[in-house]
Structure 1
Amino acid sequence: MAQATEDTGEPIRAAGCVLWRHAPGGGIEIGLVHRPRYDDWSHPKGKLDPDEKPAEAAVREVREETGMECLLGAELTMLRYGAQGRDKEVSYWTAEAVGGTFVPNHEVDEFRWLAPDRARGLLSYAQDRDLLDEALAVLPAGTAPADPR
């Protein structure tokens, strides 16, 4: 976990992923984390360590918060918002989970795999729902649920 640094006027830089996996019955599932400090549900993300590239931080944060190893996919829109009295910039990617096991920790007490519509309903912030929609539009063919007709 990156440590807070003195306020230089620069934005807080962070990175994360819209984490997904192939669902056992077809389609995909989205991995969401619950952070007890904020009592919210979000995509895994966190601050960059000094001299760390955003893509490296995204993979590290997924591993630290979810226990999952992942493969980065498409780069998504950078989110910008205020946090702790400063501007925050969070770079995001899609990321396929390829293995791992979740163990609760001080930052994340719960991790869930959910169908995309259920994930959208659980996400605490509108910008995270928009990010999920963007990710679903760029995921590789064959990840969408089958048409029930």
Structure 2
Amino acid sequence: MRSSEPIRAAGCVLWRRAASEDGLQIALVHRPKYDDWSHPKGKLKRGESALAAAVREVAEETGLDCRPGAPLPTAHYLANGRPKTVRYWAAEAVAGAFVVNGEVDRLRWCSPADARDLLTHERDRPLVDALLAALHLA
């Protein structure tokens, strides 16, 4: 990959039903390498589709299986001086359990308002609203 080509990544705004005012919770992951809270995401493997990568990254980072749904806005930003494009989907958690791994040391289920506050990067916050709109909760 040439350094001028964007890094291609994919992820999910992972959610589950909850008996709360919003009716759902959003999963955020903490990555100790960056000391940040974000949505599960990662780079595409060679020949892998963005959607397959998003589902794989959720499983690798959270230990959870998910059911992908509506596509959400794509994020574009610089990562270590290189352009990066991250495609996102809404995805419902359907099975599994979190286990600490090499990339993620914590998973937190949050209300949408708390998720907005906890997310480290401003670019990740609009994805919460996009999820609510996709689920017709906004």
TM-score (norm 2): 0.94
Given the alignment, which residue of 56, 61, 66 partners 2:62? Answer: 66
Structure 1 position 78 matched with structure 2 position 60: no
- Report the Cα offset of residue 84 of structure 1: 1.9
Tell me the C-alpha RMSD between the 2 structures.
1.5
Structure 1 position 19 matched with structure 2 position 4: no
State the Cα deviation string for residues 83-107 of structure 1 (Å, max 9, x = none).
0221000000000000111000111
Distance 1:112 1:73 in 2: 21
Q: Which has the larger radius of gyration?
A: 1
Given the alignment, which residue of 83, 108, 113 partners 2:109? Answer: 113
Given the alignment, which residue of 70, 85, 89 partners 2:85? Answer: 89
- The structure that is strand-richer by fraction is 2
Given the alignment, which residue of 9, 27, 38 partners 2:4? Answer: 9
Gaps of 5+ in 2: none
- Report the Cα offset of residue 25 of structure 1: 4.7
Distance 1:106 1:8 in 2: 26
Given the alignment, which residue of 112, 126, 132 partners 2:128? Answer: 132
Distance 1:127 1:82 in 2: 11
Q: Please list every run of at least 4 consecutive aligned residues from structure 1 whose deviation after the TM superposition is greater than 6 angstroms.
A: none
The equivalent residue for 1:43 is: 39
State the Cα deviation string for residues 90-139 of structure 1 (Å, max 9, x = none).
00000000011100011100001111111111001111111111111111
Tell me, what secondary structure is at the counterpart of 1:105? Answer: coil
The equivalent residue for 2:98 is: 102
TM-score (norm 1): 0.87
Gaps of 5+ in 1: 1-5, 145-149
- Report the Cα offset of residue 7 of structure 1: 3.2
Distance 1:135 1:25 in 2: 16
How much identity, in percent, do the aligned residues show? 58
The equivalent residue for 1:3 is: none
**Number of equivalent positions:** 137
Distance 1:13 1:120 in 2: 24
Distance 2:17 2:4 in 1: 41
